[in-house]
Structure 1
Amino acid sequence: MNSWILAAQAATAVTLLLLSVLVVVWGKNYRQIRSRQTLGILVFAVILLIENGFAFYVYSLDPVLSVWFSEQVPNGPWVAMAAFHVLEAVAVAFLTYVTLD
């Protein structure tokens, strides 16, 4: 298996974990505050969580697509996909840090 695939899978898994934390925190905040801004960031986090869950499923668990991605997709696109997933994980990690501080 390609190391770029592993990087994308790991970054997606980390992002899923961090987004789950954010959804819980922002969900509690929305229940207390009832602010439209809090609802907006909660909905954003849920949609991003769904997107990352789908990406993780496709990269790792789907019996057809995960094999296709690991065997048929050349390194060039994987470098780009892994880079974007890593950047997203860093951004969500920073957002989680700021939220929990």
Structure 2
Amino acid sequence: MSVWFDIARISAGLNIVLLGALLYIWGRNYVEFRSKHTLGLLLFALFLLAENALSLYIYVVDPTLSAWFASDVPAIAWRGMMALHVLETIGLTFLVWITWD
């Protein structure tokens, strides 16, 4: 179970870094172009960043929830949560790559 917990935490942390890069790029583009499309991308990244920051807080900082997640959550639930975080990391990596290009 600890492996799933570690993978989910690492993925959430990577997602925060990737979203920071996207926020920088899209924020800079919004300031320059003032387009609704860029504003939508910026808001999307902000909301996704909030979700990942909350996940990382729950997994690492909160003493009650992190202990509960590490010990009492069934393995099948952890596999599902880990898979979602990893898929999100893959998607964000691709998005950063095509945005940066």
Identity among equivalent positions (%) equals: 43
> So what's the TM-score if we normalise by structure 2?
0.98
- Residue in 2 that maps onto 1:12: 12
What stretches of structure 2 of length at least 5 have no aligned partner? none
> 1:29-76: CA deviations, max 9, x gaps?
000000000000000000000000000100111111001100111111
- Equivalents in 1 of 2:21, 2:54: separation in Å? 18
The answer for the alignment partner of 1:86 in structure 2 is 86
Residue 18 (structure 1) shift: 0.3
Aligned residues: CA RMSD:
0.8
Runs of 5+ consecutive residues of structure 1 not aligned to the other structure: none
Q: Aligned partners of 1:30, 1:99: CA distance in 2, in Å?
A: 14
